[in-house]
Amino acid sequence: MISISLAAEAGYAVPPLWRILTKSGYFIGLSGAIGATVTYAASVRPALRAPGNDSGDVDVMRRRTAGYLAWAGVVLLVAGYFQLAGRVARAGKGMPFGDALAPGRIWDFLTAPAAKGAWVAQGTIYVVQNLVLVLASAVLISLFLPRARRHLNALAMTSLPLTLAVTLVAAVPATKPKDGDKWLDLVFGQTHIVSGVVWVGGLALLAALAGARSRMSEGAGALWADIWRRFAFVALVCVGAVFTSGLWMSWKHVGAVSQLWTTTYGLFLLVKILLVLGMVTAGGINQFWLMPRIARARRDDATSSLLHLTLGHFPKVVWAEVALGLGVLAIVPFLGGSARSEAGSPPAVSSGSVFAMGAVLVLALAASLYITVRTSDALARRTAGAATAAAGS
């Protein structure tokens, strides 16, 4: 009751339950489709193609990946339909969500004429988006078929650009943005979405694949060490993109640090920031503690230790990251409006000084990520060197 009263007083509208479920579900669908296909292309596929891997381990990974991607297609298709119904329920004067689920209502929404001054009807953009979504889902769902699984690489690589297009097409504006800030809102908004779902979805895919440990050989540790190493780079890129785009979006919606705890929007944003920092911390544990030990075990050819680290310790931390990531997706529907508007602050307007400060922060972030990689490598070499010295003595 207290939070609802605070929301009402501050001009914050708590989203209805159907809005929370449809929006969170949609981003879960994007995470499953985009995150899994990008991670497969960047981390899993190259590792599976590396020479020296046990053919049985490769087959297990391919089958499990195909099954995961097929179910990701189902989730994307269902989530996309409910998301579209949610758009219909919010359009115009609005309607009950149950009514918006009717195909006739959806068709009327998609075929509505363009608004005055628009270069294309908003419904037409959503028609294209959902056609792409259906096509991407169909490609992924086809992996339920044994014959299609023989072409896992081709189907996964085909679905990758299609799944990305699902969110990118939806962001196309029906009317020309008024100024440069609006263009930047679109660019940074999509950067935030894509990098976020790749990060969360990639972690979920790898955590699910690691569940096949009991069906893999004792030598699977080397394969998984390669996968974790490759995904660590993907995750670092995503972290950089999430924080860069998040800086812009936070500045647009929050006028002062105090608004993070004095406005309802700010409180939800603060929770989201804390969850993301939790994911970064868990990733740091992997990067600074587990990766050096994995490198040491790999150099020492310690098969049992390598398997335990890559498929024992590592997935536990990753599952914690996945849980935090799902928490982030659950918070997203509550980030409607702006802390600035709740607090009565003026809208954010960019300037040369703002861009200069942003550039400094981005450079600092890039430097910190570079230092992270170098430090992790140095720890790996030190760990291996210490092991060699101990063995010599």
For the chain, the structural domain boundaries read 2-386
pLDDT at 53: 85
pLDDT score at 344: 86
Q: What's the confidence (pLDDT) of residue 160?
A: 96
Return the pLDDT at 65.
96
Out of 132-136, 217-221, 329-333, which region has the weakest mean confidence (pLDDT)?
Answer: 217-221
Is the pLDDT at 7 greater than 80? The verdict is: no
pLDDT in tens, 343-357: 888 888 777 777 787
3-state class of 353 per DSSP? helix
Angle between helices 220-253 and 352-392 (to 10 degrees): 160
Q: Which residue has the higher pLDDT, 330 or 345?
A: 330
Query: Quick one: pLDDT band at residue 8, thresholds 50, 70, 90?
Result: very low
d(CA 286, CA 294): 10
Q: Inform me whether the pLDDT recorded for 131 exceeds 90.
A: yes
Q: Are 206 and 37 in contact (CB under 8 A)?
A: no
54 contacts 217 by C-beta, under 8 angstroms: yes
Give the pLDDT score at 379. Answer: 62
Average pLDDT over residues 218-227: 88
pTM confidence score:
0.89
Cβ neighbours of 335 (radius 10 Å): 18
Region of residue 92 (left: phi > 0; alpha: psi -120 to 50; beta: else):
left
190-220 per-position pLDDT tens digit: 999 999 999 999 999 999 999 888 888 888 8
Model pLDDT, residue 377: 61
CA pair distance 249, 189, nearest whole angstrom: 8
What pLDDT sits at residue 125? 95
Query: For position 376, what pLDDT does the model report?
Result: 62
Least confident of 134-138, 184-188, 292-296: 292-296
DSSP state of 301: T
Q: Can you say how many angstroms the Cα of residue 190 is from the centroid of all Cα atoms in its chain?
A: 11
pLDDT exceeds cutoff 60 at 5:
no
Single-letter amino acid code for the residue at 336 = G
The pLDDT score that the predictor gives to residue 393 is 47
Average pLDDT, the chain: 87
What is the pLDDT confidence band of residue 9, given thresholds at 50, 70 and 90? very low
Cα–Cα nearest to 233, from 45, 42, 392, 54: 42
pLDDT band at 310 (very low <50, low <70, confident <90, very high): confident
**Is the model's pLDDT at 367 over the cut of 70?**
yes
Please tell me the predicted confidence (pLDDT) of residue 383. Answer: 52
pLDDT for the residue numbered 201: 96
Tokens standing for 274? 């804390």
Mean pLDDT of 245-252: 91
- Residue of 317, 220, 331 whose CA lies nearest to 274: 331
